[in-house]
Amino acid sequence: MTVTVRSLETAVPPTILIQPVARDVFAAQPGLTRLGQRLVRTCFDGAAIDTRHTAVAEMSLDFAGPDPTFYDGASGLLLNPTTKERNDLFASEASALFIECAAKALAAAEGLTAEDITHVVTVSCTGFFNPGPDYKIVRALGLAPSVQRYHLGFMGCYAAFPALRAAKAFCDADPQAVVLVVSVELCSLHVRTSNNPDTIMGSSLFADGAAAAVVTARELETTGTFLELDHFETVLTPVGEDSMAWNIGDHGFEMVLDSYVPKIIDEHIVGALEPLLASSPLQGLPYSDIKHWAIHPGGRSILDKVQSKLALSEEQLVPARETLRNFGNMSSATVMFVLKHILELPQQSAREDICAMAFGPGLTVESALFTKVGSPSSPPTETGELVTAGHA
């Protein structure tokens, strides 16, 4: 019995942040020291991000609503809403994204309907409300009221892996189970102006997005590409507890993202992968021989360290770097965007290995092995002859 992801879909809010424009807004805030201004420019320019999305419509350049709460476009001032005001916006905007992305994933799952869903697992670390997103999804999609519901809250950037691992466990226990996993993170609700390097770093990286997957062990016909969920592992590094954290303050959630994090990952990533690969046919192979790498792009320097330490090629980092460039760091949803990018790459063989990992508070390293399954793409033809250049 094999547990598979039958569909994987993503969604983002409509308001787009263009990185240089956002940089200039943050750099122009009153109260910044000269060092703070330099840090803003350095962090934003070095983030390897072009665009991000935000649920804060006030951040749109053409927003003209009255009484702004987060950003006053007329004066160019970033405001300082309370945690309640930020969380109220989370409740309304996250609910819509949870429902939208869940509906997309369900519609894309061949051979399955709302009546088939037996479990819902929701994920977020950027806000709270109850009845929660699991409840909202059940009601909006017309799922059975008996559907089992679980919410993984406040775990951070690695939380998609525990969610998928839980879905696999449900399906291993019941081969007829169909699990809907949905992650929504609205990180931009918590950005603020500050001279604090951690806060500036977070403001330059974090963004909003949603991802959803339908997971089952049922044997179903499919015409597309899907993922097999093979194995998961969790490792806590021996250092780093204070280097990455997510605290609740009076004016939003406060991110701690120490510049030491890439060094911790550099020193401990090989050890973190050992238990994942120990019982796998991939054990002992050079890391570069593993076809695909779904690395959570916590930041450009993290990707640089992983690539260098594991001797991965530029091509193997493309899904992570492109996700970072186009969407920023969307916390737990981000690695799902990377996996979707990999799923949409041309299939070169019927089965292709994926090694995936994400990092979060603790410092926690979550990793997983997946298999991408599908029909190999036909190579292009020219005047009836096969053209094989560029194909492995």
Please, which residues have CB within 8 angstroms of residue 221's CB and are 6 or more apart in sequence? 110, 111
User: Position of tokens 């999804």?
Assistant: 137
Displacement of CA 183 from its chain's centroid (Å): 8
User: Position of tokens 């050890």?
Assistant: 271
Lookup: tokens for 306: 């992983």
- Catalytic position from the list 157, 171, 187, 355: 157
First to last CA, the chain: 30
Distances from the Cα of 321 to the Cαs of 10, 249, 327, 334, 340, in angstroms? 17, 31, 10, 11, 13
Provide the 10 A C-beta neighbour count for residue 67: 6
* Phi and psi torsions of 195, nearest 5°: -95, -5
Residue 101 a catalytic site member: no
> What is the rounded distance in angstroms from the CA atom of residue 215 to the CA atom of residue 227?
9
Read off the DSSP letter of residue 329: B
> What is the rounded distance in angstroms from the CA atom of residue 86 to the CA atom of residue 100?
21
Read off the DSSP letter of residue 123: E
> What is the rounded distance in angstroms from the CA atom of residue 329 to the CA atom of residue 17?
13
* Phi and psi torsions of 96, nearest 5°: -65, -40
Angle CA(331)–CA(334)–CA(339) in degrees, nearest 5? 155
Tell how strand 244-249 and strand 119-124 pair up. Answer: unpaired
> What is the rounded distance in angstroms from the CA atom of residue 279 to the CA atom of residue 381?
41
Lookup: tokens for 9: 């879909």
> What is the rounded distance in angstroms from the CA atom of residue 77 to the CA atom of residue 69?
10
Angle CA(354)–CA(13)–CA(215) in degrees, nearest 5? 35
Angle CA(322)–CA(325)–CA(327) in degrees, nearest 5? 100
Q: Which sequence positions are flagged as catalytic?
A: 157
